[in-house]
């Protein structure tokens, strides 16, 4: 870290240089003159730029050769200047709050040779809207636009050893914090108090701000996917669902756990036993060279044979890694699902989620975050996939 620098990059400069070289090589292969990076995770991956307001204009204009420029709201230039002390991007263009952001982007791209050039746009991004894209096309009528979403997304699928170290650290925080929080629950504890305990344990153990959640539901309300607490007391025998992804250097590792004060309802216990069995088979059979479809199939078959196939309405696993609000997943990068013939590779990371939803009963999921290794897969979080009796 440079002396007096306010920002410390999570990785060595050599890692960023390698990422940049790979992006520019793909730009050359696609015939792109410029790449407009608007996905917050991709900007962070390539440069280390981080802010809590990812929903405002945050763009990186990257030429195939030459200096890149950030295009951000003027207040975010503070981050650009601080980052310039340690990162390879040294220039930034500020957008005044009275200006049209797209007009500033168009002007900047034009100054960088994009007025009549080939410009790649990340169409999959949450924060560069269809309206803005149409505005940009109208402002640059002679430019040739194409979707460049796969360029950086594709690089993120396989994690480097340095990234895997971040994933393991995030997983350790998640597993330890969840177990610590669950140990605070007793009859009458409010579901919101459990959420408080999850947050507190995560922050004490070093988690950065979470990208989503945590999610806390109890009883039949656990059937409501991605719902959360409502200030209700937790009673003995009720199923309790908690899902949380702690963060280290913006790398997110989630865990879903099921618990109860005393004995859970019998059907919940049976469902969880099936979910755990599916997880165990997945952990044994998912590994490098397996197709996404095959990985999904080995998990799904267990649940179908136990009569729960109709309750398993999700894919077997989704990619995990970099994340800012509003998501912790990398499902757009890689996923383990039916009819997907992409092959798994060492360094890919997933959240394996054999989740079962039964109306009137609730939901269970004996999940496990995993990394694909040279010989199979390995858990990323040190918390047993059991149904906890509190």
Q: Dump pLDDT digits (tens) for 100-121.
A: 999 999 999 999 999 999 999 9
Tokens 């998990």 appear where?
A: 299
Give the pLDDT score at 56: 86
Q: Which domains does the chain have, with CATH numbers?
A: 13-155 (3.40.350.10), 161-389 (3.90.230.10)
Contact (Cβ atoms closer than 8 angstroms) between residue 76 and residue 51? yes
Pick from 161, 158, 124: nearest CA to 343: 158
Over residues 19-54, the pLDDT tens digits come to 999 999 999 999 999 999 999 999 999 999 999 888
Over residues 168-193, the pLDDT tens digits come to 999 999 999 999 999 999 999 999 99
**With 60 as the cut, is the pLDDT of residue 208 above it?**
yes
Numbers of helices and strands, H then E, in the chain: 10, 17
CB atoms within 10 A of CB 278: 29
Strand partners, 335: 318
| C-alpha to C-alpha distance for 53 and 295, rounded to whole angstroms | 37
**With 80 as the cut, is the pLDDT of residue 157 above it?**
yes
Average pLDDT of the residues in 93-97: 97
Over residues 326-343, the pLDDT tens digits come to 999 999 999 999 999 999
Q: Please, where are the H alpha helices in the chain?
A: 13-30, 40-47, 77-84, 101-111, 130-139, 149-156, 161-182, 191-204, 266-285, 292-305
Mean pLDDT of the chain: 97
DSSP single-letter state for residue 126: S
CA 280, 284, 285, 288 dihedral sign is positive
Q: Please, where are the H alpha helices in 183-250?
A: 191-204
| C-alpha to C-alpha distance for 153 and 164, rounded to whole angstroms | 17
Q: How confident is the model at residue 2 (pLDDT cuts 50, 70, 90)?
A: low
**DSSP secondary structure string for all residues of 297-309:** HHHHHHHHHTT-G
Contact (Cβ atoms closer than 8 angstroms) between residue 329 and residue 239? no
């Amino acid at each position: 870290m440079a002396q007096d620098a306010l920002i410390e990059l999570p990785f060595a400069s050599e890692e960023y240089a390698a990422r940049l070289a790979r992006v520019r090589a793909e730009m050359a292969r696609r015939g792109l003159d410029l790449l407009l990076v608007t996905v917050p995770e991709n900007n962070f991956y390539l440069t280390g730029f981080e802010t809590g307001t990812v929903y405002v204009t945050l763009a990186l204009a990257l030429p195939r050769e030459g200096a890149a420029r950030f295009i951000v709201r003027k207040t975010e230039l503070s981050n650009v200047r601080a980052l310039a002390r340690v990162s390879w991007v040294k220039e930034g263009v500020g957008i005044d709050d009275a200006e049209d952001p797209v007009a500033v982007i168009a002007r900047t791209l034009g100054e960088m040779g994009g007025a009549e050039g080939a410009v790649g746009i990340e169409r999959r991004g949450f924060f560069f809207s269809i309206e803005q894209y149409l505005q940009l096309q109208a402002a640059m009528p002679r430019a040739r636009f194409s979707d460049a979403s796969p360029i950086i997304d594709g690089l993120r699928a396989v994690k480097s050893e340095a990234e895997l170290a971040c994933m393991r650290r995030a997983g350790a925080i998640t597993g330890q914090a969840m177990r610590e929080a669950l140990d605070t629950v007793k009859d009458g504890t409010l579901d919101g108090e459990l959420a408080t305990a999850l947050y507190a344990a995560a922050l004490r153990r070093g988690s950065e701000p979470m990208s989503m959640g945590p999610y806390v539901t109890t009883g039949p309300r656990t059937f409501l996917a991605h719902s959360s607490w409502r200030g209700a007391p937790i009673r003995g025998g009720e199923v309790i669902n908690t899902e949380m992804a702690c963060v280290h250097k913006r790398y997110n590792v989630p865990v879903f756990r099921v618990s109860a004060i005393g004995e859970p309802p019998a059907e919940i216990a049976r469902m969880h036993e099936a979910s755990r069995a599916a997880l165990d088979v997945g952990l044994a059979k998912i590994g490098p060279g397996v197709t996404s479809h095959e990985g999904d199939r080995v998990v799904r078959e267990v649940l179908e044979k136990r009569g729960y196939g109709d309750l398993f309405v999700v894919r077997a696993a989704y990619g995990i890694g970099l994340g800012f609000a509003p998501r912790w997943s990398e499902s757009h990068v890689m996923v383990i699902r039916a009819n997907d013939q992409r092959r798994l590779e060492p360094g890919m990371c997933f959240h394996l989620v054999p989740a079962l939803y039964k109306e009137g009963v609730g939901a269970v999921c004996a999940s496990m975050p995993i990394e694909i290794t040279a010989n199979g897969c390995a858990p990323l979080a040190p918390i047993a996939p059991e149904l906890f009796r509190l």
